[in-house]
Structure 1
Amino acid sequence: MELRTERLLLRPFTPDDLTALHSWHSDPEVVRYLFWDVLDLDGARDLLERRLGRVTVPEADGESIHFAVRYGTEVIGDVHLELLSAEQRCAEIGYVFGGAQAGRGFAGEAARELLRFGFDDLALHRIVGKCAAEHRASQAVLRKIGMRQEAHFVEALWVKDAWVSEQEWAILEHEWRG
């Protein structure tokens, strides 16, 4: 399965994406707000193996689909949609892009396409996005794609030996259409 935007191709990961995936997951600034630390090549290989296995449309709670984001001939990021509740028709989106891609609108463009995919193709009712409360760039992406902040959980997660506050953003299908 592939998704397209004006500038981007969202496609399944392939074994050839290891170098690209490693490039951003080995950057301390990129992984600063992720649940894991910088990945060495073996760690990136393990992550890629997990991404390679998630190429079908999620149907059960906890299943996800991951896409490599390609701009021109270069893979520049990783986006996913995880089904949180099939019964409630709710999913979560997420994205990680290489630091060199910051500020070029790629994360927002890819995330908007995930919203379209979720609402149009999966008939979802609600899609959420979560980010660290300190991650201003991610908040800007979520705001730009039409999500609203619904919650701020103070010191809710223990990540990398510290308590982290988290924000939850969301958009409903009828808001997306409106």
Structure 2
Amino acid sequence: MQADPLSTARLDLLPLRVEHAEEMAAVLSDPALHAFIGGAPLTVDELRTRYERLVAGAPEPGVSWCNWVLRLREESRLIGTVQATVTGRHAAEIAWIVGTPWQGRRFASEAARGLVTWLVGRYVRTVVAHIHPDHRASAAVAEAAGLSPTDETHDGETLWRLALRP
């Protein structure tokens, strides 16, 4: 499975390219973005190296890495990312991040809904996300995308799931 260009009401979800690293390094430069996910902002070179790995694809057979940057049409600029790790054609793990200046305007929810719709249209029947229990904004994004919290945890994060019938 490969990332296709997608559009939502306000966003274009563009398949990730290595060339996005420079603009995205600025978008993701706020250390506060790492409060729940750990780590620190990457430099342009570090992000370029990461994007090279992502664009090359998953080394595991049957696993697809689908990554998009989010372009806000009204500002004609990148504001974040969404991603899906698809195993086989029936399950995907998703994640999202939006730069600090664009938070609070439901861009992550809009992008996550678009991503889940795209995945379901490709016969993915289980979508999951791992969310820190104190990260209320990410929980709201997961809920907006149709996922619900489970009793399962992994590395201190709650597993959220959307399971559709085959």
Instruction: Pick the TM interval, shorter chain.
Output: 0.7 to 0.9
Say which of 147, 150, 168 aligns to 2:159: 168
Give the corresponding residue for 1:47: 50
RMSD (Å), alpha carbons: 2.2
Tell me the equivalent position of 1:131.
131
Query: How far does the alpha carbon of each residue in 1:117-165 deviate from its partner, in whole angstroms, 9 at most, with x for none?
Result: 1111x20111111111221110111112221101352xx42xxxxxxx2
1:86 paired to 2:88: yes
CA contact (8 A) 1:24 1:30 kept: no
| Residue aligned with 2:109, SS | helix
In the TM superposition, what is the alpha-carbon distance from 1:17 to its structure 2 partner? 1.8
Alignment of 1:95-174 (within 5 A): 95-120=96-121, 122-153=122-153, 156-157=154-155, 165-173=156-164
TM-score (norm 2): 0.85
Letter aligned with residue 106 of structure 1:
F
**Identical columns (%):** 26
Structure 1 residue 99, shift from structure 2 partner: 0.6
SS of the aligned residue for 1:110 comes to helix
Match of 2:80 among 72, 77, 80: 77
